[in-house]
Amino acid sequence: MAEAKFELYLLGSPELRRNGQPLNFDTRKALALLAYLAASERSQRRDTLAALLWEELDQSNARASLRRTLSTLNRGLEGAGLVVEHDTLALKADQHFWVDLTEFNRHLNEVKAQLARGGEITASHITGLEEAVALWRGEFMQGFSLRDSPEFEEWQSQVAENLRRDVTWSLEKLADRHAADHAYNKALDFTRRWLALDPLNETAYGRTMRYYAWNDQSSLALKAYRQCVQILERELGVPPLETTTELYEAIKQRRFEPPPPLTLSSAPPATASNVKTASNVNIQSETTGAVESLPVTGFPLVGRARQWQALVGAAQAVFQHGQGRLVVVEGEAGIGKTRLVEDFLEAQRKAGQKVTKVSCYEGEAEMAFVAVSAVLHTALSTLAEPGQLEAIELEWRQEAARLVPKLGAGLPAPPPLDTPLAQSHFYEGLRQTLLALCGSPGIVFLDDLQWIDGASLDFLAYLARRIPEQPLCLIMAWRSGTFSDQSKLAQVLSAARKQDYVTSIKLARLSRAEVEELVLAGLPGKRTEMAHILYMETEGLPYFVVEYVEAYRRGLLQTNNSEQEGFLAIPGGVRDLLESRLRSVGETARQLLQSAAVIGQGFDFDTLREVSGRSEVETIAGLEEVTAATLVVELAQPDSELRYDFSHEKLRSLVYEKTSPARRRLLHRRVAEALLDRKAGREALYGQIGYHFRQAGNETAAAHYYKLAGDYARSLFANREALNHYQTALALGHPDKDLLHEAAGDIYTLLGEYNAALHQYQLAFAGNSNARLEYKAGKIYLWRGDWESGISQFESAFRLASDEASLASQIYTDWSLALHHLNRDEEAGLLLEKALALAASSGDKLAEAKAYNIAGLLARDSKDAEKAKSALEASLVLSRSLGEQNLQAAALNNLARVWLDQGNLEKAIELTQAALELVTAQGDRHRQAALLSNLGDLYHATGQAENSRSCVKQSVSIYAEIELEAGTYQPGIWMLTDW
C-alpha cells in the first residue's frame, strides 16, 4: 500500500487532507496545535503548548488534555509530520507531510536572503514568489477561532498580520519586476491583488495608475484614482496624498513620465516575436538633409482587405437595402482603426453618400452629451440642401436645441425635463434630428469611443437598439479592452449580435510580409533588410512603421552598414522620431501647436488665433506649415467651416508635455476666456471652462463653472457627469459646500449607492443640520429595508420640521410606510391621516400626492381594491399635473399591482412598462431594478419567457451592484416591489 500524503492548508480556511480528502478531528485544538507548530517552525515545550491551548485549566489537566489531543493526531497522521520528544513537540514538513505556509515562507526567505546579500532577484526568484502568492487563498486560518483560548487568538492575529505584510511585499516586488519588463498586464494583476488585500494602500493605487498609463490605458488609470479618493473618503475621511493627486493630474494631462527603458537584466527572454538577429543594416538618428515628405495617405492600406470588405458589406446593407447596421472597430492604439475607416468614408463620400465623423477626446469624458453635440454640430455644418433643417419636425428640433441652440432658432424654448416621459422624448428628439441631419441613409463614425462621456454613451445605447428601424450605418471605433462585458454598450451589442445587425472588426498587427509591403511602398527600391529591422522594432504596429519611414524620407534617419554584432535599437524610439518632426517646423508654427494641444480637441481657426495671440496672417502661415508637415490635418467637409486636429493623439500629448508649465497656464486661461465669449450653447461648455480655469490656476473660477456644469448635466439626467462636476467643485473650495454635498447625496440615491449618499448627507449635516436632510437620510434607510433606522431618522426630521406643514406631511407619509412594513398598521393609518390633513391645510399638492400613493398601497394590502385604485389614481393625477416623475412611477407601479391582484395582466404590464420608462429616464437604478423584477414576473405569467428572462437578468445585475455597494447583505434591497 502506498504511503499516505498529508497536506496542511493554513493560508485561508484551515484544512488537513489525507491523499486529497479532508481529515477531521473531534476537537478544533488538534488543528490549532498543528498550526502553531507549523508557523513556529521549531520545537515547542509541552508546558508552553498546554498553557496556550488550555489556559483555563491548571497545569496538570492542561498537560493531560494535550496528551489526549496528541494521541488523536498521531492516529490520524499515521506517524507522519509530528516529531514527538520527551518534553517537546515539532512539526516536520517532508515528502509525506506538506504545509502551504512552509512553502510560502521558503520562497520568501530565499528572496529576502538574496536581497540581504546585496544581490538581484533572479528569474527563478520571481517564479518562486509567484508560486508563493499562488498559495495565498486568504488570511492565516481565516474563520478559525478558539474562544476559550484568547492567548492563542492573539497569537493567530499577530501571525496573520505578519503574513499579510509578507504577501503584500511579494505582490509589490512581482508588480515592480513585471513592470520593469514592460509586462504591464502581469504587473496590474499583482497590483489588483495587492489592493484586494490592502484597499487603503496609496502606494498600490499609485503603482496601478502608473502601470495603466504606461500600458496606454489612461482612462483606467484615472478610474483607479477615483476609486482611491472614494475609499479614502469613506473609510478614513481623508483625501489622497499630494503625490497621488499629482500623478493623477499628470496622467489626465498626458504628461506623466515614460516608463524606464528595458535593460539587459530586465528584458524578457528572447522569443520568436522579440528576438533581434544580427544584421549589417543599422538605423541611426540624423537631424539634417530633409527631403520631400510622403503624406500618410500616400501609404497603401496594407493587410486590411478582409476588414475593408466587411465595411463595404455594412454600407451596402444600408444604402441598397435600407437596413440599419452597427459596425464596431476594435484594436490597440496605433493599429490603424482611424485610417481604415477614414479611407472607407472617403470612398463613400466620392460615391455621393452622406458621412459624418466625430472624435471623442480624453479631456471631455466627464462633460455631458459632448459627443452627441459634436455629431449634431458637424452634421449641421455640412447640410447640402437649404430646406433640410426646416424639414425636421419642430418638436424634435426643440429637443435637440437643448444641446445645439442653433437648431432652435425661432422656436420657443423646449419644455423642462421634469415632465412625464420627458427624458424619452428628449432622446427621441435627438435621434430624429440626427437621422435628418446625418442622412437617411447615411454614415456616422464615432472615433476613440473609449473617451466618450457617459451621457452620450447612454444615448448611443438608445440609438443602437433602434438601428434596425433606421437606414443608418453607425461605425464606432475604440481601443481594445475599454468596455467591460457589463457595460451598457456591451449589453446592447450582445443583443444586436443575436439579431445579426452588428459587424465586428478586430484589427491585428501586421505580419512581417505586410510590414515589408508597407516599407517598400514608402521607400521604393529599399532592401528587405530594412523592412525586417522595422518589423522587429515596431512589432508590426502600422503607425510606428509609417513614422519610421516618414523620418527616413525626411532625412532624420539613415541606413548604415555596420559590421558589429547584434542589433542596436534606434535611440529614443518613436518618441525621438516625433520630437524630430516637431523640430522641423518654425517657432510660430510650434507656438500654434502648443495652443492647439492646450485646447485639447479639434479646433477652428478663430479659437486657435485667439488663444495663440498671433495675428491672422501668422496663424494662416503657421497652419499651412504644420498641415504640410502632416502634424495637423483638416477635418472639415467641403463648403463647411474648417476645423483642424493633430494627425495622431501621441503628437498632441508630446506637444502638451513639452510646453512649459507657465505657458500652459497662460494658454489654459485664454482657452477658458475664449469659450466664455461664445454666446450660443455656452451651458454645454461649462465643464470645459471649469477645466481650463483649473489648469490655469484659477481655482475659484474653476469651482464656479464646475458647479454650473454639474447643474447643467443634472438637468439632462446625466447623473454621473453631474456628480463628478460637483465633487470637483467641492475639491476646489466652492463656497456652497452644504448645497453641493446635498446635491451629490441626491444623485447617489438615484444611482442606488446608498452608503455614499448617506455620507454626503452627513457632510451636509455638519454645516446645516435641518429637517430636509434628516428626511432624505430616513428615506435611504427605507429603501434599504432598515425600517427601524428609518423611523428613528423620521422622528428627528419631524422634530426639526414641526412648523413646516408641507414637509411634516411628507415625513409622516414615509413614516407610515415604515410602520406598515413592521406590521404596525394601526399606527401607520393614524400617521397617514395626519399627513393628509397637513397636506390639505398647507395646500401642498406634492405632499397630498405622496400621501394618496401610500394610502393606496395600504388599502391594497388590506384587500380593498377599489379604495386602493381611487387613492392611487388621485396620486397619479396630482403627480402628473406637478411633473413629478418619481411619484408618477410609484403610483403606476402600485396601480399595476392592484390590477395584477384582479387578474388583468395586460393592464398590469402596460402600467409597469410606463413606470419603468420613467425611472430609467431619471437614472433611478434601485426602482429600475424593482420594476424590471415586477415586469419579469408579469411576462412569465403571460408566457413571454424570453422577455421574462431578459428583465430578471437585468434586475439581478442592478440589485447585486446596489448590495455590493452597501457592503453587507440587506434583504430589504432585494425585496422592493412597491413603494
Residue 311 has pLDDT above 50, yes or no: yes
Is the pLDDT at 381 greater than 50? The verdict is yes
Determine the average pLDDT of the residues in 222-232.
Answer: 85
Taking the C-alpha atoms of residue 781 and residue 360, their distance in angstroms, rounded to an integer, is 40
- Please check whether residue 399 is in contact with residue 380, taking contact to mean a CB–CB distance below 8 angstroms: no
Q: Are 392 and 751 in contact (CB under 8 A)?
A: no
Question: Quick one: average pLDDT of 141-169?
Answer: 86
Distance of CA 155 to the CA centre of its chain: 41
Mean pLDDT of 681-687: 82
pLDDT tens for 387-407 read 677 788 888 998 898 888 888
- Work out the number of other CB atoms within 10 angstroms of the CB of residue 850: 28
| 388-397, 563-572, 589-598, 606-615, range with the lowest pLDDT | 563-572
**Would you place residue 489 in the very low, low, confident or very high pLDDT band (cuts 50, 70, 90)?**
low
| 282, pLDDT greater than 90 | no
CB 834 within 8 A of CB 822: no
Which one, of 422, 462, 457, 463, lies nearest residue 442 by Cα? 463
* C-alpha to C-alpha distance for 113 and 121, rounded to whole angstroms: 10
**For residue 835, pLDDT beyond 80:** yes
Q: Among all chains, which residue has been given the C-alpha cell 463614425? A: 445
Q: Average pLDDT for residues 508-519, to the nearest whole number?
A: 87
The predicted pLDDT at position 642 comes to: 74
- Among 37, 45, 49, CA closest to 8: 37
Phi and psi at residue 280, to the nearest 5°? -95, 15
Predicted confidence at residue 292, as pLDDT, reads 28
Query: Which of 168-182, 409-423, 582-596, 919-933 is predicted least confidently?
Result: 409-423
Instruction: Report the candidate in 226, 259, 260 with the shortest Cα–Cα distance to residue 245.
Output: 226
What is the mean pLDDT of the segment spanning 639-659? Answer: 79
pLDDT of residue 413: 78
Give the separation between CA 336 and CA 574, rounded to whole angstroms. 16
The model's pLDDT over 776-811, given as tens digits with 9 standing for 90+, comes to 888 888 877 888 888 888 888 888 886 788 888 888
Q: Is the dihedral of CA 357, 403, 748, 888 positive or negative?
A: negative
- Alpha-carbon distance of 710 to 746, in angstroms, equals 13
DSSP category for residue 334:
T
How is 917-976 classified by DSSP, letter by letter? HHHHHHT-HHHHHHHHHHHHHHHHHTT-HHHHHHHHHHHHHHHHHHHHHH-S--HHHHT-
* All cell numbers assigned to 807: 414637509
Buried/exposed 184-214: b ≥16 CB within 10 Å, e otherwise: bebbbebbebbbebbeebeebbbbbbbbbbb
Q: In the prediction, which pLDDT does 639 show?
A: 45
What is the pLDDT, as a whole number, of residue 476? Answer: 93
Handedness of CA 608, 613, 616, 620 (dihedral sign): negative
Which residues lie across from 444 on neighbouring strands? Answer: 356, 474
> What are the distances in angstroms from CA 860 to CA 587, 867, 935, 938, 973?
78, 8, 19, 18, 21
Which amino acid, one-letter code, is at 103? E
385 residue type, one letter: E
pLDDT band of 82, cuts 50, 70, 90: confident
Q: CA 818 to CA 790: how far, in whole Å?
A: 7
Element containing residue 476 per DSSP (H, E): strand 472-479
Whether residue 278 has pLDDT greater than 80:
no
For strand 82-84 and strand 88-91, is the pairing parallel, antiparallel, or unpaired? Answer: antiparallel
Mean pLDDT estimate for the chain: 80
Residue 831: φ, ψ to 5°? -65, -35
Strands 6-9 and 97-99: parallel
The alpha helices in 270-421, defined as continuous H runs, are: 305-319, 337-350, 370-381, 394-400
Give the pLDDT of residue 883.
77
Across the range 580-600, mean pLDDT stands at 86
- Arithmetic mean of pLDDT, 418-440: 79
* Gap between the Cα atoms of 769 and 763, Å rounded: 10
Task: Write the burial class of residue 913 (CB in 10 Å: 0-12 exposed, 13-18 middle, 19+ buried).
Answer: middle
Radius of gyration of the chain (CA): 34
Name the burial class of residue 35, with classes exposed (0-12), middle (13-18) and buried (19+) by CB atoms within 10 angstroms of its CB.
Answer: buried
| Separation of first and last alpha carbons in the chain | 68
Taking 60 as the threshold, does the pLDDT of residue 2 lie above it? Answer: no
Is pLDDT at 296 greater than 60 in this prediction? no
- Residue 968: its pLDDT value, please? 46
**Pairing state of beta strands 643-646 and 603-604?**
antiparallel
Better-predicted residue by pLDDT, 886 or 692: 692
What is the pLDDT at residue 262?
Answer: 59
CA distance 179 to 260: 9
What's the confidence (pLDDT) of residue 973?
53
Containing H/E element for 211?
helix 202-214
Q: What is the pLDDT of residues 200-210, one digit of tens each?
A: 888 899 999 99
Distances (CA, A) of 822 to 787, 819, 826, 827, 978: 7, 5, 11, 10, 15
Query: Residue 477's pLDDT is what?
Result: 92
Averaged pLDDT, 315-324: 89
Residue that the C-alpha cell 413592521 belongs to: 822
Q: Which of the two residues, 635 and 190, has the higher pLDDT score?
A: 190
Average pLDDT on 7-23 reads: 87
The listed range with the strongest mean pLDDT (644-658, 892-906, 949-963) is: 892-906
Answer yes or no: are the C-beta atoms of 178 and 186 closer than 8 Å.
yes
Residue 295 above 50 pLDDT?
no
Angle, vertex CA 740, rays to CA 737 and CA 745, nearest 5: 125
What is the reported pLDDT for 566?
A: 30
Closest CA to 436 of 477, 491, 396: 396
**Between 664 and 579, residue with greater pLDDT:** 664
